[in-house]
Amino acid sequence: MIPHSSIFTLWLLLSLPNSGCARVFNLFGLNVGDAGPTHSLDHSADLSDHLGKLFDSGEGCDLLLLVSSEPAEEGADVTVCAHRAILSQFPRFNASQTSTSISVDVGRSCQQHFIPFIRYIYTRKVDVTSSSVQCFHSMASAFEVKQLIEDTGRLFHKILAEDASFHSQLSLFEYAVETGDPLLQNDCLQYLAWNFQNLTASLAWPNVSAEVLRALLSRSDLVLPDEYALLQSVEGWITQRAKMISLESQVELLSHVRFPMISPEKLYELENSSALYNTHKNMYRDNMLKAFKFNVLLLNKLVPNPRFDKQSIDYQPRIYMVEPWGADIDPSKPAPAPYIPQHYTSYNRRHQYNGYHRLEQPTVTPRYTPLTESFRTPVHNSLIFKDKTVAWEANVLKKQEECLSTGVRCDSLPLLKLSSPHQSSYDYVRFGNRLVQMCQGKYVSMVHDFVNDVVELAADGTQAAAYPCPEDKYTYRLVVRPEFSWSSRL
């Protein structure tokens, strides 16, 4: 045993900066009393796997989760043995020290996902599909597992585009209504509106609820061939569900069709082509008369009639893809090569220096021309503009030199510009044009508004999408949307 006096002496020697012992420690680069540099030892990457094995084995579990759902089904209940210390991170489990078991109510369709959900709490890992994302979001919300709520919420946009059957989109909308989530409701309706044509061709179309259809028909961002195609789809839906929907509800749904946006030729044929004309003759006749008047009179002639509200959405177009209102464009195509004049002989100058001649040529500035697509549309779908057209030019601007050549100020590149030198020549019409971005021609992933005639494109020539596309393979369609202007002249 070392005497206390010797320990004190050793401490004193070490504490003196000029002592022999201190010099010996310093020879090895050690500063007595200093812990030295910190070395981080991080093995947390293995923690998830270890906790996953702990959950799978059930070793040491001390809390029984009794999972049930309504309606009850014999033999369908699930029992999970978990660890109180793990679940206590989330108070909504009520994993108190005195309880040995807790009851958990989970919807029947989500029971199969409950065990992977509890395993996620251990490992922070889980595989989610389009059919299971709603269940994981629901269970995460019920137990306030915040990270899983956020991650599954971000997945909704991607998963909405993955299900071509539209069952997931409709199910998610019902879920958003049940949980009172207005953002998710709008996301679902927006996808259904942008892909309305695909929805009407899917097996899920007959099962769309009247509430969903009514919400869609009230929107101006429906992407479809034309308004007549919408009328046919609504009539088909009503015909398939005729025994389940009252005549009053049928009329109410049909009244959301914008008859003034249907061409006069199609209106004229409705009496014979419509499957529901004879059933709702008065409604059809009233709307057809309204549409015919709209086609032959400017709105200022209709305003004195109290039945015509110039602010009504009946006079506003949706996003019609059919010709002549739409034209395809490919922003990824290369622009024409810069034009460089080849002959400047008339401008060459010879200068004599000490008997030698030197040939000089002026500086040549290349002329840059952007990728350009041109097409024409009617001024408006109304008959009074039947013989008048507007020439449109779409420019894909990728260089500042191309912006200068077209007279556009480009704060960012690339840009897509859609303009007409004559679009301001019609006092009664303004244009709310759109760029429809499609994923490989399969579904609409984004609809862009033209602001001051331009849309900003991403650096790779594509554009950010609300509903992502695999490998970012997009196609684009320009859509011209003429509307009657509510200027003082009307």
Work out the number of other CB atoms within 10 angstroms of the CB of residue 375.
18
Segment 373-377 long-range contacts (CB within 8 Å, at least 24 positions apart)? 373/327, 373/328, 373/329, 373/478, 375/324, 375/327, 375/478, 376/324, 377/324, 377/325, 377/480, 377/482
Q: Hey, is 326 helix, strand or coil?
A: strand
Q: What is the dihedral of CA 478, 479, 484, 489, to 10 degrees?
A: 0
pLDDT at 354: 52
Both tokens assigned to 301: 């002639």
Q: Which residue's entry shows tokens 């419509």?
A: 274
Give dist(CA 276, CA 253) in Å, integer.
12
Q: What is the pLDDT of residue 347?
A: 45
Q: Give 354's contacts (C-beta < 8 A, 6+ positions apart).
A: none
β-pair partners for 455: 416
* Amino acid identity for residue 204 in this structure: A
SS3 content of the chain, % helix, strand, coil (to 5): 40, 20, 40
What residues have CB less than 8 Å from 127, skipping those under 6 apart?
A: 116
Neighbours of 228 (CB within 10 A): 22
Spatial contact of 464 and 447, defined as CB atoms under 8 Å apart? no
Type of residue found at 435: L
Question: Which of 146, 160, 288 is CA-nearest to residue 227?
Answer: 288
Spatial distance between the Cα atoms of 133 and 33, rounded to a whole number of angstroms: 56
* Contacting residues for 425 by C-beta, under 8 A, at least 6 apart: none
Q: How many CA atoms lie within 13 A of 122 on its CB side?
A: 21
Q: What angle do CA 299, 301, 303 make, to 5 degrees?
A: 70
Pairing label, strands 415-419, 434-439: unpaired
Longest CA–CA span in the chain (Å) reads 117
Residues 6+ apart with CB under 8 A from 285: none
Distance (Å, whole) CA 355 – CA 204 = 90
* Alpha-carbon gap, residue 35 to 31, rounded angstroms: 8
| Sequence-separated (6 or more) residues with CB below 8 Å from residue 34 | none
Select from 158, 143, 151, 85 the least CA-distant residue to 124: 151
Residue 489's pLDDT is what? 46
The DSSP code for 394 is E
Give residue 94's pLDDT. 87
From first to last of the 490 residues of the chain, give the pLDDT tens digit.
444 444 334 343 444 455 555 554 454 455 555 667 898 898 888 999 999 999 999 999 999 999 987 766 655 678 999 999 999 999 999 887 778 899 998 988 899 999 999 999 999 999 998 889 999 999 999 999 999 999 998 899 888 888 899 998 999 999 999 989 998 999 999 999 999 999 999 999 999 999 999 999 999 999 999 999 999 999 999 999 988 999 999 999 999 999 999 999 999 999 999 999 999 999 999 999 999 988 887 766 666 666 666 678 899 999 999 999 999 999 988 988 887 766 544 444 445 455 555 555 556 667 788 999 999 999 998 888 888 899 999 999 999 998 888 888 888 888 999 999 877 777 778 899 999 999 988 999 999 999 989 998 876 545 568 898 888 889 999 999 998 875 544 4
Burial class for 456, CB neighbours closer than 10 Å (0-12, 13-18, 19+): middle
Q: Which residues of 43-64 are buried (b: 16+ CB within 10 A; e: fewer)?
A: eeeeeeeebbebbeeeeebebe
The answer to whether the CB of 404 falls within 8 A of the CB of 415 is no
Q: Is the dihedral of CA 321, 322, 323, 325 positive or negative?
A: negative
Distance (Å, whole) CA 435 – CA 450: 7
Task: State how far Cα 440 lies from the chain centre.
Answer: 16
pLDDT recorded at residue 307: 63
**Amino acid of residue 102:** I
Asked whether the beta carbons of 373 and 394 are under 8 A apart, the reply is yes
**pTM for this model (two decimals):** 0.80
Are 130 and 168 in contact by the 8 Å Cβ rule? The answer is: yes
How many whole angstroms separate alpha carbon 196 and alpha carbon 200? 6
